[in-house]
Amino acid sequence: MRVLLVGGGGREHALSRSIAASPLLTRLWAAPGNPGIAEHAECVPIGVEDIPALVAFARDNAADLVVVGPEAPLTLGLADALAAAGIVCFGPSAAAARLEGSKAFCREVTSAAGVPGAEWARFDDPAAARAYVRAKGAPIVVKADGLAAGKGVVVAATVGEAEAAIADIMEARVHGASGATVVIEECLTGQEVSFFALCDGTDAVPLAAAQDHKRVGDGDTGPNTGGMGAYSPPPVFNDAMRDDVMNRIIHPTLAEMARRGTPFRGVLFAGLMVTATGPRLIEFNVRFGDPECQAILMRLDGDLLAALDAACRGRLRDLALGWSADPSLVVVMAARGYPGTPAKGGTIAGLDRAAAIPGARVFQAGTARRADGTLVAQGGRVLGIGARAPTLRAARDAAYAAVDAVEWPDGFCRRDIGSRAL
């Protein structure tokens, strides 16, 4: 198979490695890729949001399959444009990607499907939103409806904080047009789990679950980030919960999306809260999580490309994917300043020594290569340093041994990834 992978982060480095290991693969391109992905794919300088150029490249190079990593091209209609050109795409249509692109749409669909979630309401009018918050009391969660780079959610401890969030999102429009509508939700408590299922429009199979660390600082302190580390499987999530999530969250959502004429194909990422009464849905994403993808793919014993292809062709029923019982863990190394303005251009060395630690794997996310071959940091989350081992403790120790082999003065990481499970 000739495959085009869209994206250039740590998630796509993990995807490229697994796709490159498939006996089905004949040629792999990545747009735009990165220096790590270049070990497995030919990188082509096309941005992930340049839909016409991506479609033209896939058509001109007779790609059999386009695998889309990030959500932005999906919400912009990449899958639809590829379908119109007769090219198979792993990733949902723009209409189905609204499950991530609009929090109100996600809650409408999942409420109609009877999915266990949070009590919620949507508002286009700030005065009505304030009245609702006062009536419900705190804690309460205020969310900008649209995509806001992961920053549009405020978990408010007081009514005052919730009212300030309404003013920021709806009136000051700190996240732009995505704040024209807000969703206000009951605050769920418990442990968060990221769960992934492969979907072909009508059928779904579970992949694996992982736990992410969203705050920038040790002990879950400081601002939210895209994720500072992850491990899989999460001890709080057992096989009975997996079956429960498939039966009560994934399958009913797929059925409701199909009933609306917008079937979901791709990977459905359920952000779950494992509450005292079982798993409840916080939100859906329409793509693999990053860094969760690195953690779960380190545990995959099977052919990822065959699985993605089966999802695209409606053949999930026959799919048998194996998962290692050995846990995996990924530590994200970010550039000083992240999640604010990250330091750029610092040189990175020692990745070969890091990768040589038994069980360790290096994923590149925000890296670039200078003309002289030097690897430099470019972006916030720059490296994912992972390991798989017979125990989570051993995986953590190997991952941190690999982190310590990296020579990157501008980089930092959390030192407590996995501690909740240990």
Give the residue carrying structure tokens 């809260």: 273
- How far does CA 165 lie from the centroid of its chain? 25
22 versus 178: smaller Cβ distance to ligand GLY: 178
Q: Which residues pair with 140 in a beta bridge?
A: 156, 186
Asked if 188 and 199 touch (Cβ cutoff 8 Å), the reply is no
The residue number whose beta carbon is nearest to ligand GLY equals 227
Q: Tell me which residues in 159-188 interact with ligand AMP (CB under 6 A).
A: 185-188
In whole angstroms, the minimum distance from the beta carbon of 96 to ligand GLY comes to 17
- From candidates 290, 303, 309, 326, binder to ligand GLY by CB under 6 A: 290
Give the residue carrying structure tokens 């869209």: 6
Distance, CA of 168 to CA of 144 (rounded, Å):
10
Choose among ligand AMP, ligand GLY, none what residue 141 binds, the Cβ cut-off being 5 to 8 Å by kind. Answer: ligand AMP
35 versus 146: smaller Cβ distance to ligand AMP: 146
Distance, CA of 271 to CA of 340 (rounded, Å):
24
Distance, CA of 367 to CA of 364 (rounded, Å):
6
Pattern 225-264, ligand GLY, x by CB under 6 A: -xx-------------------------------------
For CA atoms 278, 281, 287, 288, the dihedral sign is: negative
Does 377 bind ligand AMP (CB under 6 A)? Our answer is no
Classify strands 381-388 and 322-323 as parallel, antiparallel or unpaired: unpaired
Distance, CA of 3 to CA of 9 (rounded, Å):
17
Q: Tell me which residues in 123-162 interact with ligand AMP (CB under 6 A).
A: 141, 150, 153, 155
Q: Give the three-state DSSP class for 129.
A: helix
102 versus 285: smaller Cβ distance to ligand GLY: 285
- From candidates 292, 303, 309, 326, binder to ligand GLY by CB under 6 A: 292
192 versus 203: smaller Cβ distance to ligand GLY: 192
In whole angstroms, the minimum distance from the beta carbon of 117 to ligand AMP comes to 8
Residues in contact with ligand GLY, counted by CB under 6 A, come to a total of 7
Half-sphere exposure of 20 (CA within 13 A, CB side): 17
202 versus 419: smaller Cβ distance to ligand GLY: 419
In whole angstroms, the minimum distance from the beta carbon of 150 to ligand AMP comes to 5
- From candidates 16, 18, 285, 378, binder to ligand GLY by CB under 6 A: 285
Residue type present at position 261: G
Choose among ligand AMP, ligand GLY, none what residue 163 binds, the Cβ cut-off being 5 to 8 Å by kind. Answer: none
For CA atoms 172, 178, 181, 184, the dihedral sign is: negative
Residue type present at position 282: I
Distance set, CA 297 to CA 113, 272, 322, 388 (Å):
30, 20, 11, 10
- How far does CA 284 lie from the centroid of its chain? 10
Distance, CA of 297 to CA of 16 (rounded, Å):
11
Choose among ligand GLY, ligand AMP, none what residue 289 binds, the Cβ cut-off being 5 to 8 Å by kind. Answer: ligand GLY
Choose among ligand AMP, ligand GLY, none what residue 326 binds, the Cβ cut-off being 5 to 8 Å by kind. Answer: none
Asked if 264 and 204 touch (Cβ cutoff 8 Å), the reply is no
Choose among ligand AMP, ligand GLY, none what residue 108 binds, the Cβ cut-off being 5 to 8 Å by kind. Answer: none
Distance, CA of 311 to CA of 199 (rounded, Å):
6
- From candidates 145, 185, 212, 256, binder to ligand GLY by CB under 6 A: 212
Q: Tell me which residues in 246-285 interact with ligand AMP (CB under 6 A).
A: 271, 282-283
In whole angstroms, the minimum distance from the beta carbon of 273 to ligand GLY comes to 14
What single-letter DSSP state applies at residue 226?
Answer: S
Classify strands 367-369 and 191-200 as parallel, antiparallel or unpaired: unpaired
In whole angstroms, the minimum distance from the beta carbon of 210 to ligand GLY comes to 9
The separation between the first and the last C-alpha atoms of the chain, rounded to the nearest angstrom, is 41
In whole angstroms, the minimum distance from the beta carbon of 65 to ligand AMP comes to 28
Choose among ligand AMP, ligand GLY, none what residue 227 binds, the Cβ cut-off being 5 to 8 Å by kind. Answer: ligand GLY
**Contacts with ligand GLY, residue ranges (CB under 6 A):** 212, 226-227, 285, 289-290, 292
Binding site for ligand AMP (CB under 6 A): 118, 141, 150, 153, 155, 185-188, 192, 214, 271, 282-283
